[in-house]
Amino acid sequence: MTKYNFGYKSINELQDLYRTKEISPVEVTKEALENIDLLNSKLRAFITITDKYAIDKAKEAEKKFLKGENPNLLTGIPIAIKDVEPMANYRCTFGSLVRDGIAQEDSMTVRRIKESGGVILGKTNTPEYGHAGTSDNRVFGSSFNPWDIKKTPGGSSGGSAAAVAAGITSIGQGGDGGGSIRIPGSFCGIYGIKPTQGRVSRIVDGSVRWNVVNNATSGPLSRHVDDAAILLQVLAGYSDEGEYINIKEDPEDYLDSLQKSNNYKIAFSNSVGDAEVDNEVTKIVKESLNKFTKETKSEVSEFNFYPESAESIYQVFFDFFCTKGYASDPILLEDENNNKLITDYVKRNWEHGKKVTGSRMFECYNKIGFYRDYTNKLFKNYDILILPTMATTAFDVNNPPESINGKKTNDPLWDFTPLTYIFNLTGNPAATLPIGFSKNKLPIGLQIVGDMGREHDVLNLSKQFQTIFEWEKYRAPTAV
């Protein structure tokens, strides 16, 4: 165990200590690298460790604080980056043997983190192309959950989530295309937020650049809501290089929004459609919401969030998700050498996407439009929608549940997360926050969904929950 456990301190706490010269960014970065060395063999959170780069950037930050210069939002703060974000001159794998190579340039996400002074520790594990709700691949194997190292941390941002949950670092970057921030956030007992579609600018090519529906976005994973607000402030904002749906209006001041005492009109739904949710998860989520409403006197109404059946929503998402994947990179499937290297789940997804007809894709777009209209109508009457994040707690690696509450799952690879991906289709901001544990001492997450463009509401309510539940004090068994 390390001496100071800087990985549990917030960004503001660390920068305050830098200003008073009680600690230095170099000390904090060295400890984070020691933490990786201590725990990575158990958790497999990091694929690539950029230790020399991190120390050099920490030294630059140290000089700024010694000179009394005003820091940027992330100056001197160690951060983990999901390995689907290229970082110039460093290995980038996308969790794929096919894509494993040296990146030629920074992604927009990496560029903005660098410009804000972030100290990048390395690249974290992810399933191939981010195409699974767990974090295993043929490059590095599976990541493991700090709460129980037999369990998955979830995915596809599982490496970053495991690093934060284990106290290696206080903040990690993830991406969310079907729940990939919220799934590992829930399974690992930390906070994570998926921003509104188009809030975070991305450099993309081809048809994806002009698509009016983009299910995927970059976002934060953290122990503290304040830290997520800071990283989201760094990532958010318009760029001429970005995709068509990139929001041109400036985002809110997210940290400032946390200081307001807002009372929200909340709708609570135990599920999406008729999706099965584990009884214990339901019980803990309802108990936590009752505790919150008693302490805050918030107005909460039961609401059955039912755009259509869970199976229909899944089929729309899966058809859209797989077709987009195949169309973006068909050579993975069509090239004989590549085909031998890809994982079974990517092969399955690409083969499915190849079969989806043009008329079916138009039908999916129509369905997505209907889901958006349905959700928009909800937010005419309510400020916030609350649901469980996941249908289950974390499960053994490579062993997703084949039944929930005794009911057989239709697709074990996706049925543990039927409550997340609809909000990738609608584009609404959505966060997961830890509110309790199962009888097996595994974290359970609550999901907060906001109206389009209103991440500040989601963050504000999340902060209110953190004040009551104090999850920043949680310590996983396999952690520093």
Could you write out the DSSP letters of every residue in 102-158?
E-SS--HHHHHHHHTT-EEEEEE---GGG-SSS-EETTTEE--BTTBTTB---SSSH
Three-point CA angle 74, 76, 78, nearest 5°: 80
Assign 343 to helix, strand or coil. coil
Is 156 noted as a catalytic residue in this protein? Answer: yes
Q: Pick the catalytic residue: 180, 186, 222, 462? A: 180
CA dist., res. 320 & res. 335, Å (int)? 23
The answer to whether 219 touches 194, Cβ cutoff 8 Å, is yes
Label each residue of 356-385 as H, E or C.
CCHHHHHHHHHHHHHHHHHHHHHHHHCCEE
Neighbouring-strand partners of residue 31: none
Residues 6+ apart with CB under 8 A from 462: 191, 193, 225, 228, 431, 433, 448
For residue 266, what are its two tokens?
A: 């909340």
- The sign of the dihedral angle between the CA atoms of 304, 306, 309, 314 is negative
Length of the chain counted residue by residue = 480
Of 30, 82, 324, 463, the catalytic one is: 82
Q: Among the options 24, 156, 157, 269, which is catalytic?
A: 156
* Residues with active-site annotation: 82, 156, 180
